[in-house]
Amino acid sequence: MPKIGMEPLRRQQLIQATIDVVAEVGLQGATINLISGKAGLSSGIISHYFGGKQGLIEASVRHLLDQLKDSLLSQVSHGNVSPTDRLMAIIDSNFSPFQRSDSATKTWLCFWAQAMHDNELRRLQNVNSRRLVSNLRFSLKALMEREKAEQIAQYSAALIDGFWLRSVLSESTAQKFDQASRFCKQYILDMIEQHGAANHV
């Protein structure tokens, strides 16, 4: 009989092991045996908790998405956050230490590549993209016209994704991530200065 309360712990162990193994050997090389061995658990428990490797892969993507969401919430949940500060927090969450870690970056890249061939991973990636644009748009709408906020939200999301990818592929990753974050923030600040309602009254 499994101990009561062990399932959440074991599920998290397997998810973390999946992220680590995918980072080491890629998605195709991440076998059930490698993942369970990394977690120090039996391979059969993957089927028990996740229904198989595919279910575990999808749960791992959701974990990465949750980490991104939680990073933002931790910065803005205390209230009295201005729209501009919230926009800066969105960028910080996308370039957080976790999102720039070796295991997370390699795993994200593997998931993105596989999403072209996997409907559920594609759906999860679309959720991620829509959430980023929605978060940006929400704060920008408080600062400028709706149509302009929509446009800048789309551009900003593309910049964030593009600079994140370039940083991952850079040989000087830490420096590139810091630079990318600054560039994205400066773009948004420039757009607020140029199109903000306060400048057109």
Residue-range domain boundaries for the chain: 6-199
Contact between 135 and 72 under an 8 Å Cβ cutoff? The reply is yes
* pLDDT, one tens digit for every residue, the chain (201 residues): 455 567 889 999 999 999 999 999 999 899 999 999 999 999 999 999 999 999 999 999 999 999 999 999 888 887 789 999 999 999 999 999 999 999 999 999 999 999 999 999 999 999 999 999 999 999 999 999 999 999 999 999 999 999 999 999 987 778 899 999 999 999 999 999 999 865 543
Angle value at C-alpha 142, between 196 and 124, nearest 5 degrees: 115
Query: Phi then psi for 144, rounded to 5 degrees?
Result: -160, 180
Which CATH architecture does the domain made up of 6-199 adopt? Orthogonal Bundle (1.10)
| Alpha carbons 33 and 22: distance in angstroms, whole number | 13
Please give the C-alpha separations between residue 28 and each of 2, 18, 167, in angstroms, as whole numbers.
Answer: 31, 12, 24
Integer-rounded Cα radius of gyration of the chain: 19
